[in-house]
Structure 1
Amino acid sequence: MTDPDYLETAAGRRIAYHKTDGSGPGVVFLGGFMSDMDGTKALALEDWAQANGRAFLRFDYSGHGKSSEAFTDGTIGAWADDAREALVGLTDGPQILVGSSMGGWISAILIRHMPEKVAGFVGIAAAPDFTEDSMWRDFSDAERQQLIEEGLVHVPSDYGDPYPITKHLIEDGRKNLVLRDPLKMPFPVRLLQGTADEDVERQVALNFLDHIEGDDVQLTFVKGADHRFSSPSCLDLVVKAVENVTA
């Protein structure tokens, strides 16, 4: 695997990325919480883009993968800034955003603040507002008190070590909520959600659908699919959703 290139942001963070040249509108993959750009979905889309001569970009937020900074220094706002600078600095013209899990929230933030750079959106198990509507909601009283007093709690993860959740992640998340007001998306939108997803409840997908204002918005539930959404059949659905949007 080739080494990534790096983009230095205005805040001095070094964002690792891989870019495929090709025709537009390009496709930009935005990964999930504590994920990286080398995941199955990102690589499957890169293969599709290269086979079809389509421009493609995948990158790591700061504190993720090969990018600089510590994960515990990150916030939703900082990661959205990383994504915004990657979108502005590394792509030409409007792009199709493919947001996985937290990447769906980051995509919604970008769409709200720079709609002129977006030609379409595909959300995969999208998790908008999860720091407030999932993490904070589900913390015990003891965990909330620990977070307030010590600034850090660890929550179990099905993907490895416990997640370190910081007070400033929760507080910054409240400044970037997207499901409290309508979301204007005047372009094709495809949302994909597994019914066996134990990280993102199916109601989140329905709430996201209800908040999006647009004339071409579709939500597809896949029975038995989990949060990874990375089985061969799920990857095929992701590619088809991107093809549908590009069409």
Structure 2
Amino acid sequence: MDKLTGPEGRQIAFCRTAGEGPPVVFLGGFRSDMSGTKAVHLEAWARRQGRAFLRFDYSGHGESSGRFEDGAIGDWYEDALAALDLLGEPAVLVGSSMGGWISCLITREHPDRVAGLVTIAAAPDFTEDGYWASFDIAQRETLATQGVVHVPSQYGEAYPITRRLIEEGRERFVLRSPLRFDVPVRMLQGTDDPDVSVETALRLLGHAEGPDIRLTLVKGADHRFSRPENLPVIEAAIEEVLASLAA
């Protein structure tokens, strides 16, 4: 593991595997880290393929510096761009959950840095459509007066959802403004995902414009998409994007 100095001096932890390009970059989800099942599995896949690969932790996540509750979508987007600076060539982004949102942002705002895109249970605009939309009057008042609401999570301790996370997220929406992809895109979505609905995946598919965008629904897959039977589906999506680029 190494670290790079990102925006505002944030120390971003990363693991980089040398190999042939285009490099594959894994962008993790909200409060996850680069030691997760998918990231580690794909690194091993890349080694077998002789493929350049990068995984990293956003600030406030994993081994990177900072507190999680101080971060927002824009910060983590900037961290991802700093990680991409290591590569020097367009990459295939593999974005999981929040990483799907961030990878869509990067592909829209910096198309020259993206060779292809794979999303896994992408959660675009989730700060608004997920958290804010679900808050009752009391929670919204608490957010306004105290700046944070703690929301229970099935993945561990409660998540601190800050006013800054909600407000800054509104500057990063991808479902409320044009979203053009001129690279091959493969979207993966499980039908048993309790956090991101199939309707959200269909909304993203319908909203995005581009010549080569496909959505695969996987019956029974959950949000983590990391069961042994799910991981080869991710590999196949990446390989399909790489084959499209080679052609």
TM range (shorter): over 0.9
- Equivalent position to 1:83, from 69, 80, 98: 80
- Equivalent position to 1:53, from 31, 38, 50: 50
Instruction: Give the distance between the partners of 1:147 and 1:23, measured in 2 at CA.
Output: 47
* Identity, % of aligned positions: 59
Taking structure 1 as the reference length, the TM-score comes to 0.97
Q: Tell me the equivalent position of 1:24.
A: 21
Q: Tell me the equivalent position of 1:175.
A: 171
1:210 deviation in Å? 1.0
Q: Tell me the equivalent position of 1:130.
A: 126
Q: Tell me the equivalent position of 1:192.
A: 188
Q: Tell me the equivalent position of 1:111.
A: 107
Number of equivalent positions? 243
1:9 deviation in Å? 1.2
Which consecutive segments of 4 or more residues in structure 1 shift more than 3 A? none
Amino acid at match of 1:200: V
CA offset digits 1:105-155 (Å, max 9, x no partner): 010111111100101000000000000011100011110110011001011
Instruction: Give the distance between the partners of 2:131 and 2:168, measured in 1 at CA.
Output: 13
Q: Tell me the equivalent position of 1:210.
A: 206
1:240 match: secondary structure: helix
Instruction: Give the distance between the partners of 1:211 and 1:91, measured in 2 at CA.
Output: 30
Is the CA contact 2:7–2:78 (under 8 Å) kept in the aligned structure 1?
Answer: no
1:164 match: secondary structure: strand
Instruction: Give the distance between the partners of 2:167 and 2:180, measured in 1 at CA.
Output: 25
Q: Tell me the equivalent position of 2:12.
A: 15
1:78 match: secondary structure: helix
Instruction: Give the distance between the partners of 1:10 and 1:145, measured in 2 at CA.
Output: 32
1:182 deviation in Å? 2.3
1:92 deviation in Å? 2.4
Amino acid at match of 1:198: P
- Equivalent position to 1:95, from 86, 91, 96: 91
Amino acid at match of 1:46: E
Amino acid at match of 2:37: T
User: Is residue 37 of structure 2 the alignment partner of residue 40 of structure 1?
Assistant: yes
1:10 deviation in Å? 3.3
Q: Tell me the equivalent position of 1:146.
A: 142
> Runs of 5+ in structure 1 lacking a partner?
none
Amino acid at match of 2:110: M
Amino acid at match of 1:242: I
1:160 deviation in Å? 0.4
Q: Tell me the equivalent position of 1:223.
A: 219
Alignment root-mean-square deviation, CA: 0.7
Amino acid at match of 1:64: H
Amino acid at match of 1:93: E
- Equivalent position to 2:69, from 72, 78, 101: 72
